[in-house]
Structure formats: structure tokens, C-alpha cells
Amino acid sequence: MINALTRTVLKGTLSKLLKEKWQLAMWLVIPMMMAALFSLMSGSDGNAKPSGILLITDNDDSFLSQMFVRTFSQGPLDDMFTLKKVKKDEGQTIMSAGDASVWLTIEKGFTQNFVDNKPTTLRLVKNPSQNILPKIAETMVTALADSGHYIQLLFSKELKQFDNLITGKDISDTQMAVMSVQIKHTVDLLEKQLFPPQIQAKKKVKTDESKKTESKHSFMYMMFPGILFMSLLFSAQGMAQDFWKDKSQGILSRLLSSPTGLKHYFTGKLLSAIIIFTLIAVLLSFLGVWMFNINNQKLLIIIPWVVLSGIAIWSFLLFFTLKLPTKKSANLVTEGMVFPLMMLGGSFFPFDSMPKAMVAIGEKLPNGYLLQSFNSWFIKEQALWVLLTPALMALGFILVFFFVNQKTTQQFARNK
């Protein structure tokens, strides 16, 4: 049976919170927004992939020039560059507007000069406002030019005979066979220099099964528990501040003069925190189901775990809130605590992408410890019992802080 005051405090706190819809929304939206931004910044697999437009003006329009251009649409470069063929004037306009990363111009006679072992020009115009993509394009063009130079050195004779092929004319089967044999002879001659005996190194990689499973999840999935905990930290800090609001309105000191008012007030606040954390857990879990197709049965673990963690975090932050001498200092300090707790506790970045020293600290923080334990089950897919010890630890933590904070509230109410 819940005491009448506890019930009133519970009702009052929830009703006040529902009136402050923006605050509630922020507790949910900010973590999701931050996760989405991190995800966008890092790419879905956690690695950054810049992309841009590569303008091509191919004045030669030959087999070799086309082959050269196709290099930029192969492999990883394909993700980075969107190729766009342009005339000189159009290219000039686009580059002047800064709408492309690089502009490559292949001069007329490029192939013929290459075959004739004559100098040829590739003109690369880089967008000065960009850094990464123009450098990648420049490196690529330089590498291709070097390769072309070595081909000219080694196969100049054969290239002469390729002339027809390169310039788009038909060549006979006999010509093709002769060229092939000549190239083979040259390669055979250079084989010892080109392909020295290799030392065959056997590389045995010890695979960690738990890490293997991580890779199958998307970055957002791995961030999901962090988002939940980020939301818990924001809401716990906000709810702890409620004590100061009530104190400044004279509620707590007046409750102190009632028979058992402060005790029931504290219980009411605890119950409202449990309800708010449940609400957050349910809303975000269903978002998880929708986004990551999380198994419904997992919700039976996720929701209680989030609530348990929320209460532990609330108790922790409340302790500091009650100990600080003014409303302003309590707000500043606890707000200042929330961001390092998020950062070190794995809410901004998954623990696996954090430096070891940071992980060592983060794991010792209440939110970090509980998040790391949760990840063992949720991401690394370890057996459910891995949560048993952390759950008992969290319960113990909550119990200790319940008595400490209840007692501290008395002193807090007394202080002017």
C-alpha cells in the first residue's frame, strides 16, 4: 500500500513532467540525434568515407584514355568519386562554383603520345576548399602516370604493335599472337627481377569469437545501448535537480516539520524516477525493435536492465546534487559530470573503439560498468547470466545510495 503523500508526490512529479513536454522530448531526442550524427560522421561501418564529384574532360576519347578514366570507378574509388564527363567550358563553370572536387583533363593525342613514347599531359585541377578527395585523385593520377612510364620502358616495341588496337583499328590474329609472344619473352627475361623468390609467411590470426560477432552488427546497433544510457544520464540529472527546485520553493523544509513527510516524499521521487525510466526504456526499446529488428523476447531483459541502470545513475547523481551547497553549483557540477560520464561510459563511442586507458576508467563508472555488462549480452551475445553479477552489484549500489540519499535529504532540507 503506497502512502498518500508518496502517491501525491508521484502524481505531482509525473504531471509536472508531462506539462514540460519539451524536457521529456529532449531526454529522448538528444541521444538519438547525437547517435545519428555520429553514425553519419563515421559511416555505417564506423569508417569515414568522403565522397565527391570528379569531372572528366576526355579530349582524346580513345581506348586507353577511357581505360584510364575507368580506374576511378573501380573498387573503393567508386564509393568516393562520382564521375561526370564535361566539356572544357562546363568544367570551368562547375569548378569555379566549387561544386566538384577535382577536374581531370586528358589532352588530345594522349594515347598516341603514350604509344610513341612521347611526353603527354594530364591536367588535374583541385578544389582548394577540399583536402582529402583532391589528394586521393592526385595520388591516383601520379601512380597511373608512373605505371605508364614503366610500361613504356619495358614494352615500347610491343606498344608500337598495339598501335592499331589502341587507336581503335582492327588487328589480325597473327599480329595479336606475335605481340603476346614478344611480351611473354620480355616478362620471362625480367622474371627474376620482377618476381624474386618469396618467403612464404604464414600468418595465423587468433580470432576472438566475441569480436567476430560484433562485426556483423551495424554501427547504429552497436550505439543503441549507448543511446539508452545517454537518455538515462540526461533524465537522471534532470530529475535529481527537482530536489533543488522543491527546496527553493520551501517545500522540503516545510515537509521536515511534518511527521514523516520527507521520507514519503523521497519514496515518491524514487517511484517517479522508476516510471520515467520505464517510459524511456519502453519508447527507446520499441524504436530498437523497429530499427534493428530486435527480438521481442529481448525486450524482457532490455527494459528492466535500463530501469535498473537508470535508478543506479539517478542515485549516483542525486548524491552529488544533494551535497552541493547551491542550486547553481548543483546544476553546473552535475551537468558537467554528465558529459564526461557519457564520453567515458561508452555512450558517445562504443567501448571497442575507445583507447584502452579510457575504457579502463569508463568501466569503473556506474554507467560505464552497467553499459559494458549490457553490451556483453546485447552485442557480444554472451549468455544471459553475464548480467547476473552486474545486476546484483547495481541493486546493492541502489540500496546503499537509497539510505545515504534519504538521510542526506534530511540535512539538505534543513540547510538554508
Contact region with other proteins (CB under 8 A), list: 253-261, 290-298, 316-324, 398-406: 253-261
Instruction: Figure out which of the listed residues 261, 288, 345, 366 binds other proteins, where binding follows CB under 8 A.
Output: 261
Give me the DSSP letters along 221-269. Answer: HHHHHHHHHHHHHHHHHHHHHHHHHHHHTTHHHHHHTSSSHHHHHHHHH
Closest to 358 (Cα-Cα) out of 371, 367, 368: 368
Distance CA 11, CA 367 (A): 28
* 3-class DSSP assignment, residue 107: coil
Question: Residue 348 Cβ, how far from other proteins at the closest point, in Å?
Answer: 34
Segment 15-34, which members bind other proteins (CB under 8 A)? Answer: 15-16, 19
Q: Does 212 contact other proteins by CB under 8 A?
A: no
Instruction: Figure out which of the listed residues 249, 295, 389, 411 binds other proteins, where binding follows CB under 8 A.
Output: 249
Please, are residues 299 and 40 in contact by the beta-carbon 8 Å criterion?
Answer: no
Cβ closest to other proteins, residue 59 vs residue 410: 410
Contact region with other proteins (CB under 8 A), list: 121-129, 145-153, 197-205, 260-268: 260-268
Asked whether the CA dihedral 161, 166, 171, 177 is positive or negative, the reply is positive
Question: Residue 23 Cβ, how far from other proteins at the closest point, in Å?
Answer: 13
Q: Does 133 contact other proteins by CB under 8 A?
A: no
Q: Which phi and psi (to 5°) does residue 160 adopt?
A: -55, -40
Closest to 280 (Cα-Cα) out of 29, 7, 11: 29
Question: Residue 405 Cβ, how far from other proteins at the closest point, in Å?
Answer: 19
Closest to 155 (Cα-Cα) out of 109, 189, 121: 189
Instruction: Figure out which of the listed residues 64, 223, 239, 264 binds other proteins, where binding follows CB under 8 A.
Output: 264
Q: Does 256 contact other proteins by CB under 8 A?
A: yes
Instruction: Figure out which of the listed residues 76, 196, 259, 325 binds other proteins, where binding follows CB under 8 A.
Output: 259
Helices (H), 63-172: 63-70, 75-80, 88-97, 110-115, 132-166
Cβ closest to other proteins, residue 20 vs residue 99: 20
Cβ closest to other proteins, residue 261 vs residue 345: 261
Which residues are paired to 82 by β-bridges? 53
Please, are residues 321 and 244 in contact by the beta-carbon 8 Å criterion?
Answer: yes
Q: Does 407 contact other proteins by CB under 8 A?
A: no
Q: Does 8 contact other proteins by CB under 8 A?
A: yes
Q: Does 328 contact other proteins by CB under 8 A?
A: no
- Interface positions with other proteins (CB under 8 A): 3-5, 7-9, 12, 15-16, 19, 249-251, 253-261, 264-265, 414
